[in-house]
């Protein structure tokens, strides 16, 4: 470290000397020479201090900063769709119903923001890959109200029974130490046979605290 610092100081002296000789081709007053020499000394003293400071700093790895990542839930939905497509063997779904991903518990009926967001993202991902997604939450009529015009509903009585899906996509969420394990499968709607499956883990730093709150 001392040799490196000495080399840096000598390099700076050479550079300063070169600048001095290049910028002045005539004799200058002694007071001005002394003033510039003093200025060079101050610069070299500051440089030496800076090198000492740098050499004494211990580098500390701050680790992964969760607010600086570029990953989104849609990226994991795309990975799931690719794995499902790769595991399909000669099966061509004609209408895929995508349900909410649920927590892997005793009743398999509890979801959360993550489970519903994954389901919504999978609709887009399946369409991109050429598999028709069936939105079973849409009814035949359009509800025109003062608050807006709506076609989606969660009222089962308002939803049509047909067309029936050829396949249904579902998944479970298991909360591990470092992230949420997402197990997805594509089922034949009539036979319930699994025709494709996927497994990914979403790290917790990708998710907001509200995303995994089960309700």
Residues 82 and 162 in one domain: yes
Whether the per-residue pLDDT at 192 is higher than 80: the answer is yes
Residues 98 and 186 in one domain: yes
Return the pLDDT at 34.
54
Residues 89 and 175 in one domain: yes
Residues 31 and 128 in one domain: no
Does 75 reside within a domain?
yes
For the stretch 140-158, pLDDT in tens is: 777 788 888 887 777 777 6
Tell me how many degrees the CA angle 212-72-112 measures, rounded to the nearest 5. 20
Please report which confidence band the pLDDT of residue 137 belongs to, taking 50, 70 and 90 as the band edges: confident
Mean pLDDT of 101-113: 91
Residues 187 and 108 in one domain: yes
Phi-psi region of 80 (alpha: psi -120 to 50; beta: other; left: phi over 0): alpha
Residues 101 and 178 in one domain: yes
Residues 35 and 99 in one domain: no
Does 189 reside within a domain?
yes
Does 64 reside within a domain?
no
Does 51 reside within a domain?
yes
User: Which positions ≥6 away from 176 have C-beta within 8 Å?
Assistant: 201
Residues 50 and 136 in one domain: no
Whether the per-residue pLDDT at 47 is higher than 80: the answer is no
Return the pLDDT at 43.
63
Residue 70: what are its φ and ψ, rounded to 5°? -110, 5
Return the pLDDT at 23.
45
Q: Name the more confident of 102 and 139.
A: 102
- How many separate helices (H) and strands (E) can be counted in the chain? 4, 8
Whether the per-residue pLDDT at 139 is higher than 50: the answer is yes
Does 65 reside within a domain?
no
- Identify whether 163 is preceded by a cis peptide bond (ω within 30 of 0): yes
Please report which confidence band the pLDDT of residue 6 belongs to, taking 50, 70 and 90 as the band edges: low
Share of the chain above pLDDT 70, in %: 64
Range of the domain at 200: 70-206
Return the pLDDT at 167.
93
Residues 48 and 75 in one domain: no
Whether the per-residue pLDDT at 69 is higher than 60: the answer is no
**131 contacts 93 by C-beta, under 8 angstroms:** yes
Q: Of 15-19, 62-66, 84-88, 120-124, where does mean pLDDT reach its minimum?
A: 62-66
DSSP 113: H
Residues 95 and 166 in one domain: yes
Strand partners, 185: 170, 197
Considering the entire predicted model, what is its pTM?
Answer: 0.61
Does 131 reside within a domain?
yes
What does pLDDT average to over the chain?
75
Tell me the CATH number at 110. Answer: 3.40.50.10610
Residues 94 and 134 in one domain: yes
Residue 55's H or E segment, with its range, is helix 30-56
> Dihedral, CA atoms, 36, 41, 44, 46, nearest 10 degrees?
-100
Please report which confidence band the pLDDT of residue 18 belongs to, taking 50, 70 and 90 as the band edges: low
Residues 34 and 134 in one domain: no
| DSSP per position, 81-93 | HHHHHHH--S---
Number of domains the chain contains: 2
């Amino acid at each position: 470290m001392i040799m490196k610092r000495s080399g840096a100081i000598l390099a700076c002296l050479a550079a300063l000397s070169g600048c001095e000789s290049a910028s002045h081709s005539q004799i200058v007053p002694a007071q001005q020479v002394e003033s510039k020499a003093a200025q060079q000394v101050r610069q070299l003293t500051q440089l030496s201090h800076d090198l000492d400071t740098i050499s004494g700093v211990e580098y500390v790895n701050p680790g992964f900063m969760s607010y600086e990542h570029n990953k989104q839930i849609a990226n994991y939905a795309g990975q799931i769709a690719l794995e499902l497509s790769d595991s399909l063997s000669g099966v061509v779904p004609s209408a895929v119903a995508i349900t909410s991903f649920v927590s892997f518990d005793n009743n398999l009926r509890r979801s959360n923001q993550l489970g519903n967001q994954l389901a919504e993202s999978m609709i887009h991902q399946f369409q991109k890959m050429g598999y028709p997604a069936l939105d079973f939450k849409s009814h035949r009529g359009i509800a025109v109200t003062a608050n807006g015009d709506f076609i989606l509903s969660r009222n089962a009585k308002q939803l049509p029974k047909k067309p029936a899906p050829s396949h249904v996509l579902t998944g479970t969420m298991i909360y591990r130490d470092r992230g949420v394990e997402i197990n997805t499968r594509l089922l034949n709607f009539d036979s319930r046979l699994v025709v494709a499956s996927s497994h990914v883990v979403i790290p917790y730093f990708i998710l907001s605290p509200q995303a995994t709150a089960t309700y």
